[in-house]
Structures are given as structure tokens and as C-alpha cells.
């Protein structure tokens, strides 16, 4: 288990604001902190464990490893039996992990088995908190932590998921196709495992380096001691002068032996020092290489974490969109239901108001009609008589209408016969006039006049026909026949004109028909195009919903279409509102007529109206409560709709950003292609062979790629330098803090002195407060005694005034004026009053 994961789990536990803050991972071995965390997540399931264990973590029994082991076992059993929601396994009992070593965790949590077992329990607590019902608070707490801590927690959750069986880990879901397209979390990364291994090796190498530096310092100190001792021995041998030669020889021999031994020790120490320095250089180079590798891996891990976070964000966005679509569908259904309920509510309110008005009017009318019962009966009789008369008049009107129709038909026939008779009379008159004219011999004059008129140009059609018919009179035809022919020709002329007008109308209708046909064809083409577009949009929407197409533009179009549908539904609701208003008006009219009818209700129906009024009031109250609930639901729906619109706007902005990024990349690709085209054209114009051209283009492309990598490496180098500078500043700050340890102790002593002085001041203030309280009590007692003296004096005066008659026989006893006498008198009066 890495230190990052330990730090992440500690931060996760501390985010629940426990009574005692956890500072080391071994403090979780008692299981109380984890039990408090799980109790805050689900108090129902973990209630018994928390009540038995108690909230205090500083009790003397917390050091007993048996109690710790029992607490851990109880927590582990509760974790395995905790029910999880459907996307996850039912419980964690299906995991392939072995049971942790509870005794090892309770006794020695710093060992390898203890750390592994404790980490397993912490991971399971984290997984249950994230997967449980109502996990929004836990996820919000995790999102408030740092990115590195979030990555460590994700790794812990992945470790728990990797131990679950495949059938339990990935269950089929029918809610959304996007959920089955990708797992909830990606598999653990090999890069993170390699980084943890390198960090562990780095820690081990640092520990070895520290041990070697300690050995080097010890050997250097031993070497200094040996040198000092050698110098001391040499000085002592020079100072000492022995009288005998054998003793001098012995001392010189011993000194030589010791010097040889010291030289050999010194040589061995120098050899060890050289070996140590060589090993230290090697380890330093290895550590520097590992540090560079760690920095590179950290950068890659950060990038991987960012990509993973982006993937999670996209996945969450898709899930939220799917959920929002489902919510929109539900809200549509609810809106439809609420619209129907609102219509019914409005109609019921209007009916209620109309009934209330009718009830009031009825009460008024009933009060009025109480004294005019006979008048109402007479009115009823009159109404029945009038109705019978009206029925009779209606029957008579029907009969007269039929007679009028028949008279009109007869009149039309008479008019037609009259016209025919008039025509015959005119014909007979013309014949008689012609006969008279023929008898008088005026035919030649009429002919010359008619020919002169014809030459003048002022003749009519009848005159021309008369002139043309002069030659035909010889055949036995009269002018009457000619006039009949004239009328026939005029009728034919009018029919021809009407036919020409009909032909014009026909041509106009034909042109209109052609225009209508063209507009119909155009509308059909538009309809076919719109239908095809709707089919393509529906197919794209289905692909987006099924997760086969990830184009954000189509998502935006689908959302826009959804908004258009909502607007259309709103318009339909408005239309239905207008229709409902029209229906309300009709109902009001019918209610007015019913009110007029109800004005004739007898007095025996007052009880029924009263009961109806009570029922209407009860229904009105119920409907008012339902109206309030519906208004609250509408307010919540409006708020959710606003949030959904904001989410849509944010997605549209992200889509625009992605499109701009895609346009930039496309521009870069186009510029690169343009450069390659210019390079090819230049090489082709210079007469270079095709192989050389391809090699040069490959070199140019490789050069551009390497230059981009160099820029990236330069950026990474700058970031690494900044990180090194930050680490150096932290090390220096730590060193200065260690160096200023004496100042801290001095400040601590000064603070302790200040605390002592504050304690003494507090003690003095308490003593002063006690003295003041005692003085106030004494003053209160004195005031009470003075008030008691005043009361006793008043009582004494009343007693003396009341018993003056009794004591009138003897001489009055003088009152004592001394202090002792007054005190004695007060005591007697006090005993008397008791």
C-alpha cells in the first residue's frame, strides 16, 4: 500500500469532522473512527455497533487489542451485509478477498499484514460510502479534496471492484444504452503501479543512503579518535625519559606495535571510506535517475488523472443528459396530468362559484317567494297557457308558411303566363302594324329612308336586317317573321358572347390550375425534403441516444428539437386554455339559464341546497389544498427546467469550444499539408528524383514532429525546475524551522509564564468576587433587619393606639431611650409577633 493511498484514506476519514482528528494511518486500527464514519453515512445499518462502542475514543479500553479486534470484526460483518443499489453487486460478500488478520491489525498495525488488512477494511468502507443510497454527500466531500487524494481514492475503489466477479460487476441495464457502452470506472493503470514501486525503491535507497552516511560519520569520528590517540602517544613517548635502556626499548616496541595497529586500522578505515564514498556516489546517481523517473511518471500520472477526470466528467454528463431526458418525459406526463387537473379545477371552481351565486340567489328568491306562493302558482298557470298559445301560433305559422310557398309558386306560374301573353300581344301588334303599312304603300319610302340611314352609318341591326330582308319579302315572308329571326339572332349573339366569356374563364381557370399544380408539386417536394430531414434527424437522435455517435453538434440539435417540442406543447396548452375559456363561457350561459330555472324551486329544497353547499365547501377546501400542491410542483418543475436550460446552454458553449479546437487542428493540418505541397513543388521544379523527394519530405515531417516534442520537453523541463525550486524552498523552510527549535522552546516558556500569571489573576478575581458577594449578602441582611425594625415599630404604634383605653387607669410606662433598652424591646416584640 502506497503512502499516497494512506494519505487519501486519512483525508477521506477526516472530511467527516470526527471528534478526534486522525493524523496517522495506524490510528484507524481500533475501528472506532471507521465506525463513526459509517454511522454518519447510514445510521440505521450501523446503529447497534455505534451504540455499543460509544463515541469516546480516548477510553482506557481502547488499548485492549481484544476490544479492537471485536470492533473490527463487527464492522467487517456489517460491511459484508450492507445492501447496495442495483448497478452494483447486492453485497460485498461476493468479493474474492480473504478475511483480514484482525488480531494482527489490533496488535501491530504497522506490520505488513496489519497494513494490508487495515487497508482492505478502509477500502471497503470507502466503496460502501460511494455506492450506497444517498451518496451525494459523500461524493461532494470527496470532490472538495485535492486531485492527488481523489486519484488515490479512485485507486482504492478500483481495487475493490477488481475483486468482484464479472457477472456482478457489470450487470445489464435497460435504462440507458450509454451505461452499457462503457464500464463505470477504468481498470487500474500499470503506470500508477510502476510509480508506486519506484517510490518504494526510492524510500529504501534513501534509508540505505542515510545508514551509509551514518556509518561514514562513525568511521570518521573513530579515525579522529585514533589520530588523537596516536599524537598523544607520540608526545608522551617524547616527554618520558626512562633511566634504563630495556624499559625504553620495551616502551618503544609497544608504541611501535600500537602505531602499526593504528595505521592498519586507519588504512582499513580509509579503504572503507573510499568504498562507502563510491557506493554513495552510485546510490546518489541512482537516486537522481529515480528522481527524474519519478518526476516524469508524476507528470504522466497527472496527465492520466486529468484524462480520467475528463472521461468521468463526460460519462457523468452523458448520464445526466439521459437522466434529464427521462425527467423531461416524466415532467411532460406530469404537466399533461396537471393541465387536465387544472382544467378540471378551473371548471370546478367556476361551477362552485356559479353554484354559490345560484345558492345565494336562491336563498334570496326563496325568502321572497315565501310570501308569494300563490303568485308563483298563477305565474306557472299563465306560463303553461302562454306555452300552449305559443305552440298553437307556431303550428299556424307553419301552415301559413306552407300556404305562402304554394301562393308564391302559383304567382310565379301566373307571371310566366303573363309574359308569354305579352310576347304574343306584341307579335300580333307588330303583324297588324305591318299589314297597315303594307296597305298604305309606304314600303318604298321606308326602304329609301332605311338605305339613306344605312349610308349615314346610324343604322341599327334591325334596320340592316330589314334592308337585307326586302329581297326576301318577295318569297312570302313578313316582317314579323323577320323580327322573330332578329330576336333569335340576338339570343345567339348573347349566347356566343357568354360562350366567349366562358372560354376566358376557362383559360383563366386553366392558368390557375397550372399554378396550383406547380405550387402543389413544390409543396410536395418541400414536404418530401422535410420528411427526409426529419427521418435523418430521428436516426441521428437514436444514434446519439444509443451512444454510437459522439458528435456534439447532433446532441445540440437534438436538445434544440426537444426545446422546440416543449414550445409546441406550450402552444397546444395555450390553445386548449382558450378552448377551455370558450367552454367556460358556454357553461356560464347554461348556468344562467339554470339559475333562471332554479328561481322557481319550492321551499322544501332548502335542506338539499344546504347539504350541497356544505359538500361544495369541503370540496373547495380539498381543491385549494390540491391547488397549493400543484403550484409547488409547478414551481419545482420550473426551477428544474431552468437548471436544465442552463445545462443545455453550458453544453452548447462546450460544443462551440470543441468546434473551435477542431477548427484550429484542421487549420494546422491544412498549413502542414500546404507546406508539404510547396516542398514537393519546389523539389519537383529542381529536378530531384521521387525517392529523394519522399526522403526529404519524411525528414521534414520528422523535423516538425521532433520540434514539437522538443517544445513539450522544454515545457516539462520548466515545470520540473519549478517543482525542484518549490521542493528546495520547502527543505530550507524545514531546516530553518529545525534550527529555530530553541526559539520555539523559549516562546513556549514565555507562554507558560503568561499562563501562570493569567491563572493567578483569575484566582485573585475569583477571591474578589467572593468578597463582593459576601458584602452584598451582609448588606442585604442589614436592609432586611432595618425593614423588619420599621415594620415592628409600626405594629407597636398600632398596638399602643388600640390599647390606650385599657391602660388609661394607670400611669403610662415610659419607653426606654437607651440602645440596650431598644434592643431588649425589639426582642420582646419579635417574640410576641412569633
- Give tens-digit pLDDT for 181-192: 333 344 445 666
Q: Out of 1.10.645.10, 1.10.418.10, 3.40.50.1110, 3.40.309.10, which CATH number does the structure's domain 3-171+180-186 have?
A: 1.10.418.10
* Cβ–Cβ under 8 Å, residues 137 and 12: no
Residue pLDDT, tens place only, 501-521: 556 666 766 777 777 777 777
Query: What is the rounded average pLDDT of the residues 815-819?
Result: 57
Residue 161 confidence class, pLDDT cut points 50, 70, 90: confident
Residue given cell 318604298 in the structure block? 444
Residue 806 confidence class, pLDDT cut points 50, 70, 90: low
Residue 57 confidence class, pLDDT cut points 50, 70, 90: very low
The grid coordinates of residue 285 equal 546517481
Strands (E), 147-194: none
pLDDT at 249: 57
pLDDT at 496: 65
pLDDT over threshold 60, residue 739: no
pLDDT over threshold 50, residue 423: yes
The SS3 assignment for 470 reads: coil
Give residues with Cβ within 8 angstroms of 359, minimum separation 6.
609, 612, 613
Domain ranges (residues) in the chain: 3-171+180-186, 203-338, 689-737
Comparison of pLDDT for 490 and 618, the residue scoring more = 618
The grid coordinates of residue 638 equal 420550473
Query: What is the rounded average pLDDT of the residues 812-827?
Result: 61
What single-letter DSSP state applies at residue 26?
Answer: G
Comparison of pLDDT for 634 and 499, the residue scoring more = 634
pLDDT at 687: 67
- Provide DSSP, 695-753: HHHHHHHHHHHHHHHHHHHHHHHHHHHHHHHHHHHHHHHHHHHHHTHHHHHHHHHHHHH
The Cβ of residue 25 has, within 10 Å, a number of other Cβ atoms equal to 21
Cα 128 from Cα 34, distance rounded (Å): 12
Residue pLDDT, tens place only, 207-247: 776 777 677 777 777 777 777 777 777 777 666 554 444 55
What single-letter DSSP state applies at residue 779?
Answer: H
Cα 555 from Cα 542, distance rounded (Å): 11
* Cβ–Cβ under 8 Å, residues 617 and 348: no
pLDDT at 461: 45
- Rg of the chain in Å (alpha carbons): 59
Instruction: Spell out the alpha helix ranges (H) of 370-475.
Output: 373-440, 443-456, 461-468
pLDDT over threshold 50, residue 542: yes
Mean pLDDT over the full length of the chain: 73
User: 563 vs 559, 566, 567, 573, 599, CA distance in Å?
Assistant: 6, 5, 6, 15, 53
pLDDT at 453: 44
Comparison of pLDDT for 493 and 72, the residue scoring more = 72
Give residues with Cβ within 8 angstroms of 322, minimum separation 6.
175, 176, 178, 179, 545
pLDDT at 497: 63
CB crowding 104-132: b at 16 or more within 10 Å, else e: bbbeebeeeebbebbbbbbbbbbbbbbbb
pLDDT at 701: 76
- Of 339-343, 375-379, 441-445, which range is least confident? 441-445
Cα 22 from Cα 30, distance rounded (Å): 12
Cα 54 from Cα 279, distance rounded (Å): 55
Residue pLDDT, tens place only, 650-686: 787 777 777 777 787 778 878 877 777 777 777 677 6
pLDDT at 403: 77
Query: What is the rounded average pLDDT of the residues 66-72?
Result: 85
Q: Which phi and psi (to 5°) does residue 46 adopt?
A: -105, 25
Residue pLDDT, tens place only, 456-493: 444 444 454 444 444 444 444 455 666 677 777 777 77
Amino acid at each position: 500500500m502506497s503512502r499516497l493511498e494512506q494519505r487519501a484514506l486519512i483525508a477521506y476519514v477526516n472530511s467527516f469532522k470526527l471528534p478526534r482528528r486522525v493524523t496517522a494511518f495506524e490510528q484507524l486500527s481500533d475501528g472506532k473512527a471507521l465506525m463513526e464514519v459509517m454511522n454518519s453515512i447510514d445510521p440505521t445499518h450501523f446503529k447497534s455497533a455505534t451504540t455499543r462502542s460509544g463515541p469516546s475514543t480516548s477510553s482506557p479500553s481502547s488499548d485492549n487489542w481484544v476490544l479492537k479486534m471485536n470492533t473490527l470484526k463487527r464492522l467487517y460483518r456489517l460491511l459484508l451485509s450492507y445492501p447496495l443499489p442495483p448497478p452494483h453487486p447486492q453485497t460485498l460478500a461476493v468479493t474474492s478477498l480473504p478475511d483480514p488478520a484482525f488480531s494482527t491489525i489490533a496488535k501491530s498495525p504497522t506490520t505488513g499484514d496489519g497494513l494490508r488488512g487495515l487497508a482492505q477494511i478502509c477500502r471497503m468502507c470507502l466503496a460502501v460510502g460511494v455506492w450506497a443510497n444517498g451518496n451525494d454527500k459523500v461524493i461532494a466531500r470527496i470532490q472538495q479534496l485535492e486531485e492527488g487524494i481523489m486519484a488515490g481514492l479512485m485507486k482504492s475503489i478500483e481495487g475493490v471492484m477488481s475483486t468482484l466477479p464479472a457477472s456482478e460487476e457489470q450487470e445489464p441495464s435497460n435504462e440507458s444504452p450509454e451505461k452499457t457502452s462503457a464500464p463505470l470506472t477504468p481498470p487500474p493503470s500499470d503506470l500508477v503501479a510502476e510509480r508506486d514501486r519506484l517510490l518504494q525503491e526510492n524510500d529504501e535507497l534513501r534509508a540505505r543512503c542515510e545508514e551509509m552516511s551514518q556509518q561514514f560519520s562513525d568511521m570518521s569520528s573513530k579515525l579522529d579518535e585514533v589520530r588523537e590517540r596516536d599524537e598523544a602517544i607520540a608526545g608522551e613517548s617524547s616527554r618520558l625519559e626512562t633511566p634504563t635502556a630495556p624499559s625504553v626499548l620495551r616502551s618503544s616496541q609497544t608504541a611501535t606495535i600500537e602505531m602499526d595497529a593504528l595505521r592498519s586500522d586507519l588504512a582499513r578505515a580509509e579503504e572503507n571510506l573510499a568504498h562507502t564514498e563510491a557506493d554513495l556516489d552510485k546510490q546518489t546517481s541512482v537516486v537522481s535517475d529515480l528522481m527524474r523517473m519519478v518526476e516524469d511518471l508524476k507528470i504522466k500520472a497527472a496527465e492520466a488523472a486529468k484524462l480520467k477526470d475528463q472521461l468521468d466528467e463526460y460519462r457523468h454528463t452523458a448520464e445526466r443528459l439521459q437522466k434529464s431526458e427521462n425527467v423531461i418525459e416524466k415532467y411532460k406526463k406530469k404537466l399533461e396530468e396537471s393541465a387536465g387537473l387544472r382544467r378540471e379545477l378551473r371548471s370546478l371552481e367556476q361551477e362552485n362559484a356559479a353554484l354559490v351565486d345560484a345558492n345565494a340567489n336562491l336563498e334570496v328568491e326563496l325568502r321572497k317567494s315565501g310570501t308569494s306562493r300563490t303568485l308563483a302558482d298563477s305565474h306557472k298557470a299563465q306560463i303553461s297557457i302562454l306555452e300552449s298559445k305559443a305552440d298553437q301560433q307556431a303550428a299556424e305559422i307553419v301552415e301559413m308558411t306552407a300556404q305562402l310557398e304554394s301562393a308564391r309558386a302559383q304567382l310565379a306560374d301566373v307571371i310566366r303566363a303573363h309574359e308569354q301573353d305579352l310576347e304574343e300581344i306584341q307579335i300580333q301588334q307588330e303583324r297588324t302594324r305591318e299589314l297597315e303599312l303594307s296597305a298604305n304603300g309606304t314600303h318604298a319610302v321606308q326602304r329609301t329612308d332605311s338605305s339613306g340611314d344605312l349610308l349615314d352609318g346610324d343604322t341599327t341591326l334591325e334596320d340592316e336586317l330589314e334592308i337585307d330582308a326586302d329581297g326576301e319579302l318577295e318569297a312570302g315572308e313578313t316582317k314579323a317573321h323577320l323580327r322573330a329571326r332578329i330576336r333569335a339572332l340576338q339570343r345567339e349573339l348573347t349566347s356566343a358572347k357568354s360562350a366567349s366569356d366562358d372560354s376566358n374563364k376557362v383559360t383563366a381557370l386553366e392558368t390557375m390550375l397550372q399554378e396550383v399544380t406547380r405550387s402543389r408539386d413544390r409543396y410536395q417536394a418541400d414536404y418530401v425534403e422535410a420528411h427526409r430531414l426529419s427521418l435523418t434527424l430521428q436516426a441521428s437522435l437514436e444514434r446519439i441516444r444509443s451512444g454510437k455517435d459522439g458528435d456534439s453538434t447532433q446532441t445540440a440539435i437534438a436538445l434544440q428539437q426537444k426545446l422546440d417540442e416543449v414550445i409546441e406543447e406550450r402552444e397546444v396548452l395555450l390553445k386548449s386554455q382558450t378552448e377551455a375559456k370558450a367552454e367556460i363561457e358556454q357553461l356560464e350561459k347554461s348556468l344562467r339559464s339554470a339559475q333562471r330555472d332554479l328561481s322557481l324551486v319550492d321551499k322544501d329544497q332548502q335542506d338539499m341546497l344546504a347539504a350541497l353547499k356544505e359538500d361544495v365547501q369541503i370540496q373547495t377546501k380539498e381543491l385549494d389544498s390540491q391547488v397549493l400542491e400543484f403550484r409547488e410542483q409547478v414551481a419545482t418543475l420550473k426551477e428544474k427546467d431552468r437548471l436544465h436550460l442552463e445545462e443545455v446552454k453550458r453544453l452548447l458553449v462546450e460544443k462551440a469550444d470543441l468546434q473551435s479546437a477542431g477548427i484550429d487542428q484542421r487549420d494546422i493540418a491544412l498549413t502542414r499539408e500546404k507546406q508539404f505541397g510547396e516542398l514537393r513543388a519546389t523539389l519537383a521544379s529542381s529536378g530531384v528524383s521521387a525517392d529523394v523527394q519522399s526522403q526529404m519530405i519524411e525528414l521534414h515531417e520528422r523535423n516538425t514532429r521532433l520540434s514539437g516534442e522538443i517544445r513539450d520537453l522544454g515545457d516539462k523541463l520548466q515545470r520540473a525546475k519549478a517543482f525542484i525550486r518549490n521542493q528546495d524552498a520547502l527543505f530550507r523552510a524545514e531546516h530553518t524551522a529545525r534550527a529555530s527549535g530553541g526559539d520555539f522552546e523559549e516562546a513556549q516558556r514565555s507562554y507558560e509564564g503568561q499562563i501562570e500569571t493569567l491563572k493567578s489573576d483569575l484566582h485573585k478575581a475569583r477571591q474578589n468576587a467572593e468578597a463582593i458577594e459576601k458584602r452584598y449578602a451582609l448588606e442585604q441582611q442589614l436592609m432586611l433587619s432595618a425593614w423588619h425594625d420599621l415594620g415592628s415599630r409600626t405594629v407597636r404604634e398600632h398596638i399602643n393606639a388600640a390599647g390606650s383605653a385599657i391602660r388609661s387607669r394607670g400611669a403610662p410606662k415610659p419607653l426606654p431611650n437607651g440602645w440596650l433598652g431598644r434592643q431588649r424591646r425589639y426582642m420582646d416584640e419579635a417574640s410576641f409577633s412569633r
